[in-house]
A and B are shown apart, each in its own frame.
Chain A
Amino acid sequence: MATDPKTSLSAASLQSPMPSPVSASAPTVTDSVCMSLENVTISYGSFEAVRNVHLELPRSRVTAFIGPSGCGKSTVLRALNRMNDLIPGCSLKGRVVFDGHDIYNPKVDPVEVRRRIGMVFQKPNPFPKTIYENIAFGARINGYKGDMDELVERSLRKAAVWDECKDKLQQSGFSLSGGQQQRLCIARAIATEPEVILMDEPCSALDPISTLKIEETMHELKRNYTIIIVTHNMQQAVRVADMTAFYNAEAVEGGSGKVGYLVEFAETEVIFNSPGQQATLDYVSGRFG
């Protein structure tokens, strides 16, 4: 009986985009919830990093996570595709629902989750392979059977890095500049055709020009993908994000360190112009953090 509500939920979320498959920008599609966090608490060992997060991430939108260092925004991001599994001692309470299923259900395969929810990391991390193989790797292990040349070109074009590497596809991924490497990593994430792309401070190691290009890439991508980005750069959040979640950290009595929590989640415009919480206002106006 316990599985019944879940299956009906997944059926509902599958059906909602169906009535308007032609107009992709129809509000019925874009306003649907892609992922939701229900009372999520994440701990490293006995230390709680972030507590009681409730969040509904909308589909085909860019959502930014902002907040001071140590508030748990990266931790929450990594929880969305079970990347935290790789960190020893990390545990999660609550539910992270994607496509009608709790991805922390013991029956769920984390590998399958990561195929549908891709990730771009803070530091560009191309594989020590050729540019072509960097893109083809993910697609191949996901059982992609189509025209690989075409997929490589399409992915690199979507990540706005095709022009810079079309003449050196057989060279090492390291031969590119930092900004190009990061866009290669975005192309690599796109190539597996995920539904969601998580970005953990993707521009923090890049110069302003490369940052601008990656932001343009994000604007292109959000038509087809749900993007969730962690950023320390508030201007970046204003430029790219439709929705913004502000996290903060506070000391708790009896605890050894600060515990992160979600303060406010709303449209980016609201967060930066008329936030509902004093802490949000203080942070976005530069009074702390």
Chain B
Amino acid sequence: MFFDPSLSRNRINKLCTTVAGVFATIAVLPLLLVLLYVLWNGGRLISFQLFTQLPPAPGMEGGGIGNAILGTLIVTAIATLIALPVGVGGGIYLSEYSRSGWFAQAVRFSNDVLAGVPSIISGVFVYGLIVATRVFFNQSYSAMAGGIALAVLMLPTVIKTTDEGLKLVPQELRWGAYGVGASRFVTITRVILPAAFTPIATGAVLAIARAAGETAPLIFTALFSPFWPEGIFNPIATMSVLIFNFAIMPYEAQNALAWTASFVLVVMILAANLLARWIARAARP
């Protein structure tokens, strides 16, 4: 009747619980260590001028990463403006218009494949398509090209979450809307999309956070600039490329800025993830 810890089933139980707990700790350790390490190395330089000044010339001291922060925001905004309409529209088509047609199956499959394409491939693709051909006003590297490269990376996530989010909307709700004489367009825009707002918004924010931290696709497309952004058809500085460039420079000031930029970038992405969680919770009835 009484609990006997020496029984083999109870000992095995305890052992398994311990092993699982250890692995769970190991799993969250990287995030904690990255945050602490970046904070330790990069937190010291956090100051107001960091956000308002340009990086120093090689060999000089001080300066900030204001242009890179602004550049990351611009490039991510371009990517969002492209990927969100296309992705949500594609997701609506898959879920609402062609649930199981061969075309929808093909789109779903290629979307899953696209999600697995390495980000550098997306960069090379946009390099070949836009940068090398100079299609935009005869400009080569540009913020626009960077945004398109990031949009290619965001697209699968947005399509997938929209598709899955819309599938979660109960079928009865669609019937209800059709039953009062709503057309398909009205049903989707006024009833189905609002009902699926939470998963779609969450997916979009996660996709944006993912894209904001990408480096590889931007190296070939947005390149870098030591100056403030000069429109979206010129090369632009971004945080991730700034980190990539400055971390390997033989100058103390640049290395320190790379660490600080890492810290700011991690905090930005963390904030976006928290925003996604907050959206998911706030919209729940």
A binds B: yes
Q: Which residue of A lies closest to B183 (CB)?
A: A111
Known: A137-B190, A172-B285. A114 touches B181 (CB 8 A): yes
> Chain B nearest CB: distance from A223 CB in Å?
21
Contact of B181 among A112, A121, A126, A174 (CB under 8 A): A112
- Are B99 and A114 neighbours in the complex by a CB distance under 8 Å? no
Complex interface: chain B residues within 8 A of A129 (CB): 194
- Are A119 and B179 neighbours in the complex by a CB distance under 8 Å? yes
Q: Is A19 an interface residue (CB 8 A)?
A: no
Q: Is B249 an interface residue (CB 8 A)?
A: no
Contact of A188 among B173, B174, B180 (CB under 8 A): B180
Q: Is A37 an interface residue (CB 8 A)?
A: no
Known: A137-B190, A172-B285. A127 touches B179 (CB 8 A): no
Contact of B177 among A112, A118, A123, A127 (CB under 8 A): A127
Q: Which residue of A lies closest to B186 (CB)?
A: A141
Complex interface: chain B residues within 8 A of A111 (CB): 178, 181-183
> Chain B nearest CB: distance from A28 CB in Å?
29
Q: Which of A69-119 contact B (CB under 8 A)?
A: 81, 83, 86, 88, 111-112, 114-116, 118-119
- Are B180 and A83 neighbours in the complex by a CB distance under 8 Å? no
- Are B186 and A83 neighbours in the complex by a CB distance under 8 Å? no
> Chain A nearest CB: distance from B282 CB in Å?
15
Q: Is A128 an interface residue (CB 8 A)?
A: yes
- Are A115 and B181 neighbours in the complex by a CB distance under 8 Å? yes
Q: Is B176 an interface residue (CB 8 A)?
A: yes
Q: Is B175 an interface residue (CB 8 A)?
A: yes
Q: Is B172 an interface residue (CB 8 A)?
A: yes
- Interface residue count on the A side (C-beta < 8 Å): 30
- Are B179 and A189 neighbours in the complex by a CB distance under 8 Å? yes
Assembled-state Cα–Cα distance A35/B23 (Å): 67
Contact of A118 among B173, B179, B190 (CB under 8 A): B179
Q: Is B77 an interface residue (CB 8 A)?
A: no
Complex interface: chain A residues within 8 A of B173 (CB): 125, 127-128
Q: Is B250 an interface residue (CB 8 A)?
A: no
Q: Which residue of B lies closest to A172 (CB)?
A: B285
- Are A114 and B180 neighbours in the complex by a CB distance under 8 Å? yes
Assembled-state Cα–Cα distance A121/B173 (Å): 10
Assembled-state Cα–Cα distance A128/B285 (Å): 9
- Are A83 and B181 neighbours in the complex by a CB distance under 8 Å? no
Assembled-state Cα–Cα distance A116/B179 (Å): 10
Q: Which residue of B lies closest to A120 (CB)?
A: B179
Assembled-state Cα–Cα distance A81/B178 (Å): 10
- Are A142 and B181 neighbours in the complex by a CB distance under 8 Å? yes
- Are B285 and A174 neighbours in the complex by a CB distance under 8 Å? yes
> Chain B nearest CB: distance from A183 CB in Å?
14
Assembled-state Cα–Cα distance A249/B170 (Å): 30
- Are A138 and B180 neighbours in the complex by a CB distance under 8 Å? yes
Complex interface: chain A residues within 8 A of B280 (CB): none
Give 4 new A-B contacts, CB below 8 A, not counting A114-B180, A119-B175, A137-B191: A83-B178, A115-B181, A121-B172, A192-B181
Could you pull out 22 A-B pairs where Cβ atoms are within 8 angstroms? A83-B178, A83-B179, A86-B174, A88-B99, A88-B100, A111-B181, A111-B182, A112-B181, A114-B178, A114-B181, A120-B179, A121-B172, A121-B179, A125-B170, A128-B194, A137-B180, A141-B183, A141-B186, A174-B285, A185-B176, A188-B176, A189-B179
